[in-house]
Chains A and B, each alone.
Chain A
Amino acid sequence: MTTTSLLAIEHVRKSFGDNVVLRDVSLTVEPGQCVVLIGASGSGKSTLLRCVNLLETVDDGRILLAGKDITDPRVSADAVRARIGVVFQSYNLFPHLSVIDNITLAPVRVHMVDRADARQRAMAMLERVGLAEKAHARPDDLSGGQQQRVAIARALVNDPQLMLLDEVTSALDPELVGEVLDLLRELKAEGMTMILNTHEMGFARQVADEVCFLHGGYIHEKGPPAQVLGDPQEERTRQFLSRIHSL
């Protein structure tokens, strides 16, 4: 705690009824770092992200964002969420709004940006994810990959300090995964701080600064991707990776 990390997760515990999903998880993320969470489904990767975004309340431990305890109930959850961008596995675009209105909703309503400015920024963001011509389309008329790129634009337009990406390519057809991963690679290159859950081990190896293997409610093993993915020290990690690779 000598230097302030952008995010510090300290001894977090979270259970749903009798099901203890996270037992004691600690993790720090430095600005510009990309941390990849891997683990079997049900290992708590998504729950951990939801805890960071305060969509779940932790049972114990604390989470510090830029040195400030956001798990303190006196902290405004809305204000914290407004500083964190989230992208979901199933995109979760708002189907009743056009693409551009999806993107401008939070700037206009939460960040009190003038509507014209918000539209301008949204267009710039759409340009950047290569979907400017789809600004007035409905989400349902886009492919899965395009929807996910809009979802990323929707999160990015608010200048988040941190991006949480929850299995963002799991619902995509294989030929559409590439366009989303390319976008994430660019983000990483620009210095965006990210935590992401993924089953794309090749991608994890390329972009991750640190890979964490979650198992049984703990971070079982963590380290640089070459070590965790290439030369795992723990038996559990080896088993998990061999199962993934044998697919």
Chain B
Amino acid sequence: MSHLLSGAGRSAGPGEGGAASDAWRPSPIQLERDLYRRARSRRSLAVAALSTLVVLGVLFGAVVTSPGWSRVRETFFSWEKAVSALPAVAAGLWLNIRVMLVCGVLIALLGLTLAVLRTLRGPVAFPLRLLATAYVDLFRGLPLLLVLFLLGFGAPALRLSGLPNSALFWGCAALVLSYAAYVAEVFRAGIESIHPSQRAAARSLGLSYRQTLRHVVLPQAVRRVMPPLMNDLVSLQKDSGLIAVLGVIDAIRAAQIETATDFNFTPYVVAGALFVCLTIPMARLTDWVARRQGFHGAGGVV
């Protein structure tokens, strides 16, 4: 909001930014232009407000007066059901949040490692490059649900010693394996977008390949791909709900259990609302990160 206000101030407001010392007064032409712009923006605002109200009113009226509305409201938007389901669904959502946080960190680490391996040069690194490339190809191609089934149901059945058998563990493993392949490609795009002259400058100072990567290339690359990474994090937040298929009681599974007692689907709506409430702040944060990276002002008045 603040940048919108300051933007408006810039176009309309005279006497900003160090101009205080000179005796500038806006010319009659400029005053007339400002007046016109203000009138125009008042008019646009009025039109926008009115049309929004009309559209929302018509939609609301159409929905509420439609023949099946009372049954829809009862089945999907029952207040009592929502209140009774909320504790269980919220408890499940807490699991989703923890899954997202833990997996997010592991995905970033694995993804970055894969990306670095894929960008290594020289014949010595060939096996590493090949392995990383094969990994990314494989896990980008496999549907996430399939990986979930394969690991979530298949791995515990093997009764491997030393590895946990919990569905939650294997569900998280599936998320990490799948997402790391995508995130690796995002990181790699970032690494390859750093101009070769940056490497040349670092190497000419005597920094080794590793030091150049660590101190010059990666810091710039990671900053550059922050917006797409945040986008993947928002996506992970939703997909953390997929572990419900393994029987883990997360928000979705909790809602399903609540629903099963009386076939009232309100708990699903509650879970959906909670997910949306989680992702919206993430999306705004993503926008903010992207804007901070210098997309501001690039368009001028266009």
Q: Which residues does A use to contact B, with CB under 8 Å?
A: 53, 55, 78-79, 81-84, 86, 88, 90, 92-96, 105-106, 109-111, 154-155, 158
With A88-B197, A94-B201 as contacts: A158 and B215 at CB distance below 8 Å: no
Q: Does B204 contact A (CB under 8 A)?
A: yes
How many B residues have CB within 8 A of the partner chain?
17
A92, B201: Cβ atoms closer than 8 Å: yes
A109, B204: Cβ atoms closer than 8 Å: no
Q: Does B216 contact A (CB under 8 A)?
A: yes
Closest to B209 in A: A78
Q: Does B145 contact A (CB under 8 A)?
A: no
* Bound-state Cα–Cα, A94 to B202, Å: 9
Residues facing A in B63-104 (CB within 8 A) are: none
B204, A79: Cβ atoms closer than 8 Å: no
Task: With both chains docked as a complex, state the minimum distance between the C-beta of B258 and any C-beta of chain A, in angstroms.
Answer: 49
Task: With both chains docked as a complex, state the minimum distance between the C-beta of A23 and any C-beta of chain B, in angstroms.
Answer: 24
A154, B200: Cβ atoms closer than 8 Å: no
A88, B206: Cβ atoms closer than 8 Å: no
Residues facing A in B228-276 (CB within 8 A) are: none
B198, A94: Cβ atoms closer than 8 Å: yes
Task: With both chains docked as a complex, state the minimum distance between the C-beta of B189 and any C-beta of chain A, in angstroms.
Answer: 17
B197, A109: Cβ atoms closer than 8 Å: no
> Within 8 Å CB of B202, what residues of A?
94, 105
A92, B198: Cβ atoms closer than 8 Å: yes
* Bound-state Cα–Cα, A47 to B44, Å: 60
> Within 8 Å CB of A111, what residues of B?
206
Q: Which residues does B use to contact A, with CB under 8 Å?
A: 197-198, 200-208, 211, 215-216, 219-220, 223
Closest to A111 in B: B206
> Within 8 Å CB of B206, what residues of A?
78-79, 81-83, 106, 110-111, 158
B220, A110: Cβ atoms closer than 8 Å: no
> Within 8 Å CB of A84, what residues of B?
204
* Bound-state Cα–Cα, A104 to B219, Å: 16
* Bound-state Cα–Cα, A114 to B259, Å: 65
A88, B200: Cβ atoms closer than 8 Å: yes
Given A81-B203, A109-B211, 19 other A-B residues pairs in contact with their CB atoms under 8 A: A55-B203, A55-B204, A79-B206, A82-B205, A83-B206, A86-B201, A88-B197, A92-B200, A92-B201, A93-B201, A94-B202, A94-B220, A105-B207, A105-B215, A106-B206, A109-B207, A110-B205, A110-B207, A158-B206
A95, B220: Cβ atoms closer than 8 Å: yes
> Within 8 Å CB of B211, what residues of A?
109-110
B207, A78: Cβ atoms closer than 8 Å: yes
Closest to A164 in B: B204
Task: With both chains docked as a complex, state the minimum distance between the C-beta of A87 and any C-beta of chain B, in angstroms.
Answer: 9
> Within 8 Å CB of A105, what residues of B?
202, 205, 207, 215-216
B207, A90: Cβ atoms closer than 8 Å: no
* Bound-state Cα–Cα, A96 to B201, Å: 14
* Bound-state Cα–Cα, A82 to B207, Å: 8
A90, B197: Cβ atoms closer than 8 Å: yes
- Sample (14) of A-B pairs whose CB atoms are under 8 Å apart: A55-B200, A55-B204, A78-B206, A81-B203, A81-B205, A82-B206, A86-B201, A92-B200, A92-B201, A109-B207, A109-B211, A110-B211, A111-B206, A154-B205
Task: With both chains docked as a complex, state the minimum distance between the C-beta of B260 and any C-beta of chain A, in angstroms.
Answer: 53
Task: With both chains docked as a complex, state the minimum distance between the C-beta of B152 and any C-beta of chain A, in angstroms.
Answer: 41
